[in-house]
Structure 1
Amino acid sequence: MSVAIPQILETMLARRSAWPLAAPAPSAGELETILQAAAVAPDHAGLRPWHFKVVQGEDRQALLQQVLQHADAQTEQVRALHGKYALKLTTAPVVIVLAARITPHPKAPEFEQLLAAGAAVMNMLNAAHVLGYSGFWSSTPAPLDALLHQVMAFDPQDRMIGLLNLGTPVNPGKNTAPRAVWQEYAQLWKSAMPE
């Protein structure tokens, strides 16, 4: 028996990450909607452990320069990564620096807070897609995570969880690898107990 799938769900099921991203970017109102989508993530204890900083326009280059000029970015190892940092911080028209703010709580262990922050990011990816944009969530490997943490004045309890780049795909339709079918990663469990 086939079930009719609402259009919004069909749109969500078509979401794919895309890179590189360029203008047009979400408008100010669309960006607010994307950011608001984070608020509907599951949030045990109401901690809102997601903390993001949005970088757009000329501020992307300014952030990159502050990162590259930081004292901790002057080693040979980090200098070799400057080009990679430039791609991550300036290629897309909108860059959201992502952190999970971990708060000790008796009912919400650290792993739940990390999962909640990840769910908030996924909600933003889905919202951007529904609005007609693409997103790319990438990691901030050491030492970029520490550099961003310092340069952008994140709080001590904030743990960097990546960058969310938003914009329009430069090469639309490039990512066409087939999706896994749900039976490959989920099973319908049935009790083996005798009736």
Structure 2
Amino acid sequence: MTTEILETLLARRSAWPLMAPAPQAGELETILQAAATAPDHAGLMPWHFKVVQGDARQVLLQQVLQHPDAQTEQVQALRGKYTLKLTTAPLVIVLAARMTPHLKAPEFEQLLTAGAAVMNMLNAAHVLGYSGFWSSAPDPLGSLLNQVMGFAPQDKIIGLLNLGVPVNAPREQAPRAAWQSYAELWTGS
């Protein structure tokens, strides 16, 4: 069983675009619970997520596009991109790193921990048979999502986690890099 789990994890690839089905309620709870297994120095849980599915995806898109700060040429030029990011997958999790000033857990560590929480969710979704795509949400989309969805002022939007199943059959992928290309055994000599 351990070998099967490792083979499953090593086979994970991002997929886009995604379609239904999305994880069901119990599966979604498992995926979200996987975030809590991230290394978390000082126990800050420096992440906060908002799950958007079904018709709520269109509602979110409309609220983002109608926000007063979205009435710029820059945002209007990105309408299509925002539509794809917020409505293509059947389930979208808006991801934020929740920064808390702490002497023993600097901001960079909290960001890494939030990223580890997201990766754990992505892996859990994969083990459950779903595909995922973690996309960025650079400003102005990040700040628009922060305002529209009511994230806290200390929250930094770190992207969107889209979940579902691939629209297209998986295509032949280039082999992953061998670990020796990015890691070495240090012997001290």
Are positions 1:64 and 2:64 aligned together?
no
Aligned to 1:162: 159
- CA distance in structure 1 between the aligned counterparts of 2:123 and 2:20, rounded to whole angstroms: 19
Q: Which amino acid aligns with 1:128?
A: A
Aligned to 2:46: 49
- CA distance in structure 1 between the aligned counterparts of 2:162 and 2:60, rounded to whole angstroms: 14
Aligned to 2:12: 15
Q: TM-score, normalised by structure 1?
A: 0.95
State the superposition RMSD in angstroms: 1.1
Show CA shifts across 1:51-102 (max 9, x none).
Answer: 0000000000000000000011111111000010000000000000000000
Aligned to 2:181: 184
Q: By how many angstroms is 1:47 displaced?
A: 0.2
Q: By how many angstroms is 1:5 displaced?
A: 6.1
- CA distance in structure 1 between the aligned counterparts of 2:48 and 2:99, rounded to whole angstroms: 10
Show CA shifts across 1:115-142 (max 9, x none).
Answer: 0000000000000000000000000011
The sequence identity of aligned pairs, in percent, is 78
Aligned to 1:138: 135
Q: Which amino acid aligns with 1:80?
A: A
Q: TM-score, normalised by structure 2?
A: 0.98
Report the count of equivalent residues: 189
Stretches of structure 1 lacking an aligned partner (at least 5 in a row): none
- CA distance in structure 2 between the aligned counterparts of 1:27 and 1:172, rounded to whole angstroms: 22
Other structure's SS at 1:6 match: helix
Q: By how many angstroms is 1:176 displaced?
A: 1.2
Stretches of structure 2 lacking an aligned partner (at least 5 in a row): none
Q: Which amino acid aligns with 2:180?
A: Q
